Structure 1
Amino acid sequence: MKIGVPIEIKNNESRVSITPAGVFELSKSRHQVYVQTRAGLASGFSDQDYREAGAEILPDIQSVYQVAEMIVKVKEPIEEEYSLAKKGQIIFTYFHFASSQILTQAMIDSKAVCIAYETVQDEDGSLPLLTPMSEVAGRMATQQGAKYLEKPIRGKGILLGGVPGVTPGKVLVLGAGVVGIQAAKMAAGLGAHVIIFDISMKRLRYVNDIMPSHVVTAFSNEYNIRKHIKTADLIIGAVLIAGAKAPKLITKDMLKDMQPGTVMVDVAVDQGGCFETTQPTTHENPTYIVDDVVHYCVTNMPGAVPYTSTLALTNVTFPYILEIANKGWKEACASNPALAKGLSLDEGKIVCKEILKADLV
């Protein structure tokens, strides 16, 4: 199979979808990989690294799309790429269709075969291709939240971990999934007081077992959230419903109950966000303020640490890439139920029920 690796052109997205090690393995299986020049540079991989692994280097994104039977990306295609996708071409990447009607319609019109990383799902309900980026994003959420609590950025002026004689900051984490646990772990490590919310008692018991005593659990409902946001310093939105829009747990009217300079980090922004006031931002302009509350809603948080993120992502995506290349997408999906759940669009037809529920077309 001819596999294309274009440069990610989303704002400040520095990850790459296949490493030279992946190219080497694909080449051993007699597949041809075409890599756009400089595609891996920000992640620490040179064109020469790719050439030595067996890739052919192409000069521009148009050339990559034109020659490839399968495009492997990190983030969803953006407007400049919509016209490049071809009928029957496999596009394997994060899509988050439920949050974008424009993207969904563009991919329907292209008649490409779209397989989404974020909805590939194992029998136990886990999301193997989303997990490593959720781990990175969860840890970064606390890291970024701590930074934006600084006064020059219009935060409260609080050091999250406090110092002797001064109480630490208070962090609310909405969701006890992968993102939430990683965010809570980082906040706890800084010494903050952490409350983690979820609607699953099984998850809350798990958190209670593994976290230190200054991380406490709370059942997620509107009453409890409204109560705790009044004294929170950092609120991290970490709610995920696979393939669907995130529920709005923080509404605009709740902002008036928060103290000026409170920071909200919405890790669910790719799925529409779990704050009503969420608007997608970039690493270039990561924050905005609504009612004196700082919002950090960057859609590709792991893109800021591309070396770590690229390796973490490709560790889990590569086996699926190789399976699709070896078998073709139809046979691969038929033989692998986890991969089949990632199939979103089949040449213009929506085949993912979560996208249909989102009523985008």
Structure 2
Amino acid sequence: MTDQPCIAIDAMGGDEGLAVMLAGVASARRRLAAQYDGLNFLLVGDETAIRAGLESHPNLSAHSEIVHAPELVGPNEKPSQAIRRAKVTSMGVTIDLVKKARAHAAVSSGNTGALMAMAKLSLRTLPGIDRPALAAPLPTLGDNDVVMLDLGANTECDARNLVQFAVMGAAYARIIFELDRPRVALLNIGSEDQKGTDEIRAAATELRAATHLPLAFTGFVEGDKLARGNHDVIVCDGFAGNIALKTAEGTARFVGDLLKRAFTSSIRSKVGFLISRPATQLLRDHLDPNNHNGAIFLGLKGIVVKSHGSANELGVATAIANAVKLVRADLTRRIAEDLGLDHRPAPAPVAVIDTGVGV
């Protein structure tokens, strides 16, 4: 891949608006400047609003090009409706820039269902991949996070889908965790071989037999052990995955609120908080979803990263950094190789940036 990654940003997506998206892009630029001096961005959305927003980030302007898109996808808009307006929305244009090889990857904080539908229709899946899966790293007690997929793209999956998810998740984990053979488990209602649905048991049988794959299948894992750090990849259908993700996020907020309430309940508690503040800050940082932001649709002929809709500046920057890392590692090619597929990567985008005139 080129030494100058170019990332297309859906600047109008997300709950927090354009200001937070631009602040996140500028933060990512500063964070990655030493490693990627030629990192460039295509900022997609209302040209007038983006140009005004860039006045607060003069250093970002020199590394960005504005791509005008007059409309945006609403947070509750149905995917079928969003697809019909893809050519005029910031989300649709952002994905199209990847399709046309003007950008290496797309990042959006917008409507997840619409993003999934647009990305699949525009970029298509890799040969042999039935369905893309939404994957994201989640915090654990181990040295690394754990990659979990699918997190909501596919509510029902057969054994073939689950095996494909395992291979794609392992390729992802090899990149972000720098592992040779990631430990892969299937989420199940028990660890015994006879537990679970027919699809889960069939997927386990196939993964145990697939010793040629660059992964170590460890069997089943129950929901209470997701964060123990004993696995690098956890695979499930999108229905169970989305429930597990939302439960984990809710639990993290519950713990944070409970600690806050406990430490403000009395004078003695407040003194205790001051003493334990370094430890509680470490816990807060570890559980903060902005430090783990950036889910990716695996299995597409292109890299599309989904930032959380409520992500702050840190979260947006984290998602962009994740996208850049996957671009440099050529994730799409590595997934294709792991599956034994013939995939030719798209040509590198033009690195010339014209900041004077928006497209």
TM-score by length of 1: 0.33
Which structure exhibits the higher relative contact order, with contacts defined as CA atoms closer than 8 Å and separated by 6 or more residues? Answer: 2
TM-score by length of 2: 0.33
